[in-house]
Copies of this chain bind each other. A is one copy, B any other.
């Protein structure tokens, strides 16, 4: 379908293009626009019915949005800005260069400009930066009939009409009522009788992670956002929260791999940004790892007399790192989902101690059989390696389980206590144990 429309575009068979396009979902039309060059994209964009054009626009990449805004008339821009949902407009303006923003603001009314500026000033990743102002506003003395009539008149411009907000003359939120409730309630009842006063809400400056957590906990499809004076200023809808959830997860993945989190998609990021995001942690960890090297230097005489000890360093370091990474990942994830709290500190330690003992015995056992019986390594060395392996696994798992919780206690992001950092710590300790053990058992 997509290929056919693009082929029609190339052959300038615009009539066929139009009739095909009208069958499609706006998301798919946006997909097609992304594949066309600017000229063709503008031609196709102008073919769309006005309502569809606005919807398609909201699904385009920033690059293609900019191309289109650059090529259409002020009147067309004005129409798009008037019809875009407010949150989509803010997202769009935030990403545009100054000349385009100027072109857009020229085409908006004074009062809307004030509102745009207010929204642009909400902190990044705050509830304020996610919300939209197109919600249904009811009064508690309305009847159900009046409320439904009000929705009929104004509903088409609202982002959602499925949750309606009951406010007083000062915009204080008094309750919510769902469209479901309105539809199944007799016409003459008052809103006050059926509204739910026990409302879950957030404030404009709350972090988006808090908002996402409430959506998950209460299975919401929209949440009201209040300002400092507890007045209703906007709502956030579930579609935006789904994006927030994925964004927060991406950030955690990035932090846990020792990178600065970034919202730019990999293929869109330039190499300097990518390098910059990666280098800080690599550098910190590289320098930390040189201390691990110092440990080896300190035990140089042990190593000199029994060089075969070096052969087990990679296995000990890797296994320790992997064991620690497993535990820290589970705990970081549990903290992020709210399944583990800081008060579970001791439960986590006990659990990791037991699990690591089981895992450690299994790994050490298999390892002993392999190096003593199969590789015929000297008994004392086999014992040293196996003993160190066991202790390393236990230690790695306890450290991996504990550090994320400590980070949360210290108001740091637990995600930094992930594989790279844990590995570096565990490596150092493992080597100290290894060589101390060796010099003791081997009597060097």
* Interface of chain A, main secondary structure: helix
Which residues of B have CB within 8 Å of A98?
A: none
Residue A111 CB within 8 A of the other chain: no
Number of interface residues of A (CB under 8 A): 111
A325 to B162, CA, bound (A): 44
Pairwise interchain contact A339-B271, C-beta atoms closer than 8 A: no
Per-residue interface assignment for chain A, residues 294 to 311, with 1 indicating a CB less than 8 Å from any chain B CB and 0 otherwise: 101100100110011011
Which residues of A are at the interface with B, using a C-beta cutoff of 8 A? 23-25, 27, 148, 151-152, 155-156, 161-162, 179-180, 183-184, 198, 200, 215-219, 221, 238-239, 241-243, 245-246, 249-250, 252-254, 256-259, 265-267, 271-272, 274-275, 278-279, 281-283, 285-287, 289-290, 292-294, 296-297, 300, 303-304, 307-308, 310-315, 317-319, 321-323, 325-326, 328-334, 337, 339-340, 344, 347-348, 351, 354-355, 358-359, 362-363, 366-367, 370, 393, 419-420, 423-424, 427-428, 431
Not counting A267-B344, A289-B319, A307-B307, a sample of 15 additional A-B residue pairs whose C-beta atoms are within 8 angstroms of each other reads A25-B218, A151-B183, A151-B184, A152-B183, A216-B246, A221-B221, A257-B330, A258-B326, A271-B355, A282-B326, A286-B367, A304-B304, A310-B313, A317-B317, A318-B423
Query: How many copies of this chain sit in the oligomeric assembly?
Result: 2
A218 contacts which of B27, B152, B221, B347 (Cβ < 8 Å)? B27
Pairwise interchain contact B183-A155, C-beta atoms closer than 8 A: yes
Which residues of B have CB within 8 Å of A308?
A: 297, 300
A312 to B291, CA, bound (A): 10
14 contacts between A and B (CB under 8 A): A25-B200, A221-B221, A253-B253, A259-B326, A259-B329, A259-B330, A265-B334, A267-B351, A274-B351, A278-B359, A283-B362, A318-B424, A318-B427, A325-B419
Pairwise interchain contact B253-A329, C-beta atoms closer than 8 A: yes
A239 contacts which of B219, B315, B420 (Cβ < 8 Å)? B219
Q: How far is the CB of A316 from chain B (nearest CB, A)?
A: 8
Pairwise interchain contact A311-B296, C-beta atoms closer than 8 A: yes
Given contacts A254-B329, A278-B355, A321-B321, contact A242 B245 (CB under 8 A): yes
Which residues of B have CB within 8 Å of A152?
A: 183-184
A311 contacts which of B27, B215, B253, B297 (Cβ < 8 Å)? B297
Pairwise interchain contact A281-B339, C-beta atoms closer than 8 A: no
Which residues of B have CB within 8 Å of A354?
A: 271
A393 to B279, CA, bound (A): 11
Which residues of B have CB within 8 Å of A293?
A: 311-315
Pairwise interchain contact A279-B359, C-beta atoms closer than 8 A: yes
Given contacts A319-B286, A359-B279, contact A183 B300 (CB under 8 A): no
